[in-house]
Structure 1
């Protein structure tokens, strides 16, 4: 029997990409993306910058501060003792980039790579959004002026951590995540929406993993999967990844477009304010999207 895995979508397969993206979002909430247009050299440079920044002393990394939890540096903690992450919130904002680089005293080269990579993956997110809209038979852009967050992740795996969990099973709170996985160190596992089994996602050099989060489930009127996933320690090697999170629109509540709501598919969720929802996820300890139940429409 062939090993089960998420779909692989070739962005150069122009005729079939929209339909394949929608199908993958419905069945998995995830896919691998190849031939995506982000230069391999830039991905390698970003990985090197991430490694160098994550190797900074703890007192410098802690300067990557944001008053809201999860928008700045995340140190190892009780729930994820082997994980830490730096965060550039609102990656498309030049001021946010300047602030981040000032916080950690990034070099001019590091800043250049952060800017180039952030914009390249930001543009890719918009392209994926346009193709998704096309596959749904809708027009226009979906992610225009949405807030995006760039996170640099490090898993400090060692011999004594083999078999343990680096990131507990969770869904992402936003709409879409573009993940540059570690091309050498495995560990990402997704939950099959149908069977509930964990499926290991082996690295493919030069590819991205695209995952959907809770906002996508609300926006699609329940049509898309908010994929559950985790990171396991398979081997005693440091694991590094980079994620762009497409979160939600600014100052506008998330709701399904009217084209996705009809008598056969009544509105499943009431409009959702993303920042309120993220805080509710935390306060109700709902890492796998359970807080969405609080936004179910009365007819659901």
Structure 2
């Protein structure tokens, strides 16, 4: 039995649609290669991210929230090794520039963040289109959906080896594109079949895609909202850069009619992403359990 997550060549998805859908079904995550974001830009962005997260606390705290959790997150009792900066609505150039201004970004940093943001947002829209087509749907899945950007730093030390950098959770949105640290591991995902955690080792030049709770609702329970965590494996700083495709701003998420029939009844009630996000926060159910509150049998 394979214990490695699937690797998807983004340029070959059209000729192998079942491979993409199978990865979403069985793993809820996969690595992508041939994604068209230059490795030089990825390296430049990582360097910029590291410098921003090394800024004085008073500057980082200027990174304001638009929705809960979208701004600066300081180390906490629950996640003492983690801190992160956030940007809500990555598809808006105004929001990107506002983020840069909050942090006194230099012209070079601003230009790098802008180029990377546009590239990874375009990639998210491309993945949405290819995923819809792989499911037999003729639509652009993520068009107009707000996206959230998070840049993360894990301060691992010798004393913290074996402890948790971020606790077990699922992502609340539809899909996450992650540039993980090419030098420092620690990310683990839960194998859907065994329930065991599998290490996701770094693979330079690639990007990792995770599916979240909204993907499970949209696919009528077919796609796996993968549980994951970050463990401290070595005494080094770990940097990661994540784009979260959340959900439509004004429309409820529900399984398309093509994915529901007499044999596959609708499993979840339609839900606005913002309402679901608040439900997760209020119930503190952050590892996919909140989906049980949306079951049609509860309505």
TM-score, scaled to structure 2: 0.97
* Superposition pairs of residues 1-300 of structure 1, within 5 angstroms: 4-66=3-65, 68-298=67-297
In structure 2, what is the Cα distance between the partners aligned to 1:14 and 1:242?
A: 24
Q: How far has the Cα of 1:16 moved from its partner? A: 3.4
CA shift digits 1:78-111 (9 cap, x unpaired) = 1100000000110111221121111111111111
Q: How far has the Cα of 1:4 moved from its partner? A: 1.2
Is contact 1:266–1:299 with CA below 8 Å preserved after alignment? no
Is contact 2:89–2:148 with CA below 8 Å preserved after alignment? yes
CA shift digits 1:8-40 (9 cap, x unpaired) = 111232543422111100001000111111111
Gaps of 5+ in 1: none
Greater displacement, 91-100 / 216-225 = 91-100
Where 1:248 maps in the other structure, the secondary structure is: coil
Q: How far has the Cα of 1:299 moved from its partner? A: 8.2
In structure 1, what is the Cα distance between the partners aligned to 2:56 and 2:242?
A: 22
CA shift digits 1:182-201 (9 cap, x unpaired) = 00000000000111000000
In structure 2, what is the Cα distance between the partners aligned to 1:161 and 1:17?
A: 43
Where 1:12 maps in the other structure, the secondary structure is: helix
User: What is the aligned residue count?
Assistant: 299
TM-score, scaled to structure 1: 0.97
In structure 2, what is the Cα distance between the partners aligned to 1:198 and 1:243?
A: 21
CA shift digits 1:142-169 (9 cap, x unpaired) = 0000000111000011111100000001
Where 1:31 maps in the other structure, the secondary structure is: strand
In structure 2, what is the Cα distance between the partners aligned to 1:103 and 1:188?
A: 29
Where 2:71 maps in the other structure, the secondary structure is: coil
Where 1:298 maps in the other structure, the secondary structure is: helix
Superposition RMSD in Å: 1.3
Is contact 1:254–1:271 with CA below 8 Å preserved after alignment? yes
Where 1:172 maps in the other structure, the secondary structure is: coil
